[in-house]
Structure 1
Amino acid sequence: MSRPKRVVIMGAGGRDFHVFNMVYRDNPEYQVVAFTATQIPGIEWRRYPPSLAGPRYPDGIPIVPESKLPELVKEHGVDEVVLAYSDLTYDEVGHLLSMALSTGATFKIIGPRDTMITSYKPVIAVTAVKTGAGKSTVSRALVREIKSRGLEPVVIRHPMSYGDLEARKLIVIRSEEDVEKYPLTIEEREEFEPYLGMDVTVMAGVDYGIVVREAEKRGDILVWDGGNNDWPFIRPDLWIVVADALRPGLEASTFPGEINVRMAEVAIITKASEAGPENVKKVRENLLRLNPKLDIAVADIEVTVDKPEMIQGKRVVVVEDSPTVTHGGAPYAAGYVAAKKYGAEIVDPKPYAVGIIKEMYETYRHMGPVVPSTGYTSEQLRHLEETLNRVPADVVVIASPARIEKMIKLNKPYVRVSYELKVLEGPTPKDLVDRLLERHPVPKA
Structure 2
Amino acid sequence: MYPEGIPILPEEVLPEVVVEEGVDVVVLSYSDLMNAELGDKVNRVISSGASFMVLGPRDTMLVPSRPTIAVTAVKTGAGKSTVSRAVVRELVSRGIRVAPVRHPMAYGDLSRMAVQRFATVGDLERAGLTIEEREEYEQYVRMGIPVFAGVDYSRILAAAELEGQVILWDGGNNDFPFIHPNYMITVADAMRPGLELSTFPGESNVLAADAVVINKADQAQPDSVRAIVEDVRRLNPRASVSIAESSVEVDDPDSLRGRRALVVEDAPTVTHGGAPYGAGYVAAIKYGATVIDPRPYARGSIAEAYRRYPHMGPVLPSMGYSEDQRRDLAETINSAPAEVVVLGTPADISGIVKDGRRVLRVRYELRMVEGPTIGDLVDEFLKRTGLSGGR
Question: TM-score, normalised to structure 1's length?
Answer: 0.85
- Residue type matched to 2:158 in 1? R
- Residue type matched to 2:244 in 1? A
Deviates most, 108-117 or 435-444? 435-444
Deviations 1:257-314 (A, max 9, x none): 0000000010001111221321110110111111111101110000001221211110
Aligned to 1:165: 110
SS of equivalent residue, structure 1 residue 251: helix
Aligned to 2:8: 63
Deviations 1:147-200 (A, max 9, x none): 111111010111110021111111111111211231210000000111122121
Q: Residue 196 of structure 1 is aligned with which of 141, 145, 148?
A: 141
SS of equivalent residue, structure 1 residue 261: helix
Q: Residue 61 of structure 2 is aligned with which of 102, 105, 116?
A: 116
Contact 1:126 1:239 in 2 (8 A): yes
Contact 1:389 1:411 in 2 (8 A): no
Deviates most, 428-437 or 394-403? 428-437
Provide the C-alpha distance between the structure 2 equivalents of 1:260 and 1:443, rounded to a whole number of angstroms. 27
Q: Residue 273 of structure 1 is aligned with which of 188, 210, 218?
A: 218
What's the % identity of the aligned pairs? Answer: 54
**Shift in Å, 1:410:** 5.3
Kindly indicate whether residue 126 of structure 2 is the aligned counterpart of residue 181 of structure 1: yes
Contact 1:327 1:364 in 2 (8 A): yes
Q: Note closer, same or farther for the CA distance 1:443–1:337 as it changes in structure 2 (3 Å cut).
A: closer
Provide the C-alpha distance between the structure 2 equivalents of 1:407 and 1:164, rounded to a whole number of angstroms. 24
- Residue type matched to 1:258 in 2? E
Contact 1:167 1:182 in 2 (8 A): no
**Shift in Å, 1:57:** 4.4
SS of equivalent residue, structure 2 residue 112: helix
Aligned to 2:91: 146
Pairing of 1:242-261 with structure 2 (within 5 A):
242-261=187-206
Provide the C-alpha distance between the structure 2 equivalents of 1:199 and 1:412, rounded to a whole number of angstroms. 29
Deviations 1:219-246 (A, max 9, x none): 0000011001111111111111000111
Kindly indicate whether residue 255 of structure 2 is the aligned counterpart of residue 313 of structure 1: no
Q: Residue 340 of structure 2 is aligned with which of 380, 388, 395?
A: 395
Q: Residue 99 of structure 1 is aligned with which of 29, 41, 44?
A: 44
5+ residue gaps, structure 2, are none
Provide the C-alpha distance between the structure 2 equivalents of 1:73 and 1:278, rounded to a whole number of angstroms. 46
Deviations 1:327-369 (A, max 9, x none): 0000001001000000000001111111111111100111000
Higher relative contact order (CA 8 A, sep 6+): 2
Deviations 1:68-113 (A, max 9, x none): 3234323422111111111111221122223322321111101112
Q: Residue 175 of structure 2 is aligned with which of 230, 235, 242?
A: 230
Provide the C-alpha distance between the structure 1 equivalents of 2:145 and 2:34, rounded to a whole number of angstroms. 34
SS of equivalent residue, structure 2 residue 71: strand
- Residue type matched to 1:82 in 2? V
**Shift in Å, 1:58:** 4.4
Matched residues, number: 389
Aligned to 2:314: 369
Provide the C-alpha distance between the structure 2 equivalents of 1:183 and 1:100, rounded to a whole number of angstroms. 38
Question: TM-score, normalised to structure 2's length?
Answer: 0.96
Deviates most, 59-68 or 364-373? 59-68
Contact 2:319 2:329 in 1 (8 A): yes
Q: Residue 152 of structure 2 is aligned with which of 186, 204, 207?
A: 207
Aligned CA RMSD, in angstroms, stands at 1.4
Provide the C-alpha distance between the structure 1 equivalents of 2:307 and 2:258, rounded to a whole number of angstroms. 30
Aligned to 1:84: 29
Provide the C-alpha distance between the structure 2 equivalents of 1:195 and 1:407, rounded to a whole number of angstroms. 22
Provide the C-alpha distance between the structure 2 equivalents of 1:165 and 1:363, rounded to a whole number of angstroms. 27
Contact 1:317 1:346 in 2 (8 A): yes
